[in-house]
Structure 1
Amino acid sequence: MSKAKAAAPPPGCSLDINDPKVQEAAIRIQASYRGHRSRKELREKGPPKVLLNLKDVVLLEGSAAKLECRVSAFPDPFIVWSKNGKELKDGPKYRYVFEDPDVVALVVRDGVLADLGKYTVTIKNPFGETSDSACIKVEVPAKITKGPDTVKAKKGSTVVLKADISGEPPPDVGWMKDGQDIDEDDRVFYDIGDTNTTLTIKKAQPSDAGKYEVFVENNLGVDQSFARVDVQ
């Protein structure tokens, strides 16, 4: 039984590998490929670069926030996150996340006011390192964490009512007596600090006796607390 002959290629489609022109073209193709591969390797191997920067984020109290950026690095980089210059360890509070080959992220869980600050990611490989920073802004409803105590004072003494406060943005603070705003003067006045407020009554008089209220307010919430002052 005779074997079938292979069909001849269409005219103009045959290739003679011994043809000097064919061999020269093959050499040019191989050189071009080697050059492309070399350029590709040079482009990939080098110090890390940040392609998409970190952005500031807002963290609500009790919730989580994520900082992320897009990087270019080959070989694979070593990632370190820090807050205000102090390294953060990967764990329950701070979670290192690698979502895509070129995206790195940090998740901050169980947000509290102390999480406010500047966060930095440092990206290293054998060719060098780079870094980028952004801030976490924490929003906390205004709150009176400890209200003023009821006071029994002697006539002519100095009375001080104190309340511990918190909130971010910092809350507006006010004091009232028997439902009326207190008009400050040299004898009765109040001070507002970062974490507390005090009402001072100098040379207390029987007319100073009554129900005192302190209140705090920001765009996230309002809180108040009461205390009684008796003057004898």
Structure 2
Amino acid sequence: MSKVKASPPPGCTLNISDPQVQEAAIRIQASYRGHRSRKELREKGPPKILQELKDVVLVEGSAAKLECRVSAFPDPFIVWSKDGKELKDGPKYRYVFEDPDVVALVVRDGVLGDLGKYTVTIKNPFGVTSGSACIIVEVPAKVTKGPPSVKVKKGSTVTLKADISGEPPPDVGWLKDGEDIDEDDRVFFDIGDTNTILTIKNAQRSDAGKYEVFVENSLGTDQSFARVDVL
């Protein structure tokens, strides 16, 4: 007994002689060949950086991310370092992998010590490559330790010292009773990287008063006060 072959439902037939069908088949074959070729090239080649690291700004207390786009297959071994010292993945430095091709480093709880050159090293069985960029740390100007109030004898030398911080380095000024101090050979101040010192030679009773040290940069301002009494 012969079986009757059922006809396919409407719309389910495929005419291989149809030009549109033939064109679609060609596109599928070309796409497969292109994908296979790209994969084979990736397997045979060393890692490549497709998009370089860029310098970033890290504001004190916040986080910053360095990232680059890479081409590497099989999956590469990634190491981040700062000024030549390897950074371990952990609470401070977080290794991040985004998409298949993006590697990143997140630096948390920013401090001035995070300023430096960061390098990513990417290695697979076929080779190694690396790229570098800088983290630029910005810190609001601050008087971290103000000068103490002092009592001195007439004719003695007075020194008022304040510890300061800030990045960019802050502008520094000293005031007496709210007025800018006009420096001369007897009254002058010096500004270092981390402190400033006001010197008053041969102190006179007219030097008594309220002294203020003032710091300012693009991120903020700060000040501290001290009293000088001349006996």
**TM category, shorter:** 0.7 to 0.9
Change (3 A) 1:172 1:36: closer
Contact 2:142 2:165 in 1 (8 A): yes
Distance 1:211 1:131 in 2: 56
Distance 2:182 2:34 in 1: 82
**2:2 maps to amino acid:** S
Asked whether 1:3 is paired with 2:3, we answer yes
**1:4 maps to amino acid:** V
Contact 1:211 1:229 in 2 (8 A): yes
Hey, what does 1:118 align to over in structure 2?
117
Quote how far apart the aligned CAs of 1:45 are.
2.2
For 1:63-212, list aligned pairs within 5 A: 63-212=62-211
Contact 2:42 2:72 in 1 (8 A): no
Distance 2:34 2:57 in 1: 48
Quote how far apart the aligned CAs of 1:2 are.
2.1
RMSD of equivalent CA atoms: 2.3
Hey, what does 1:25 align to over in structure 2?
none
Quote how far apart the aligned CAs of 1:102 are.
0.9
- TM-score normalized by the length of structure 2: 0.84
Quote how far apart the aligned CAs of 1:56 are.
1.1
Larger radius of gyration: 1
Distance 1:69 1:195 in 2: 35
**1:175 maps to amino acid:** W
Q: How many residues align?
A: 211
Change (3 A) 1:12 1:209: closer
Q: Secondary structure at the match of 1:74?
A: coil
Contact 1:145 1:166 in 2 (8 A): yes
Quote how far apart the aligned CAs of 1:3 are.
2.6
**2:106 maps to amino acid:** V
Quote how far apart the aligned CAs of 1:206 are.
1.4
Hey, what does 2:50 align to over in structure 1?
51
Change (3 A) 1:53 1:206: same
Asked whether 1:41 is paired with 2:45, we answer no
- TM-score normalized by the length of structure 1: 0.84
Hey, what does 2:20 align to over in structure 1?
none
Unaligned runs of at least 5 residues, structure 1: 14-32
Change (3 A) 1:89 1:12: closer
Q: Secondary structure at the match of 2:47?
A: strand
Identity of aligned residues (%): 87
Distance 2:166 2:81 in 1: 25
Distance 2:186 2:134 in 1: 43
Distance 2:165 2:226 in 1: 19
Change (3 A) 1:5 1:63: closer
Distance 2:102 2:38 in 1: 24
Hey, what does 1:29 align to over in structure 2?
none
Unaligned runs of at least 5 residues, structure 2: 8-14, 18-31
Contact 1:45 1:73 in 2 (8 A): no
Change (3 A) 1:62 1:34: closer
Distance 2:230 2:39 in 1: 85
Distance 1:149 1:34 in 2: 78
Change (3 A) 1:103 1:38: closer
Q: Secondary structure at the match of 2:98?
A: strand
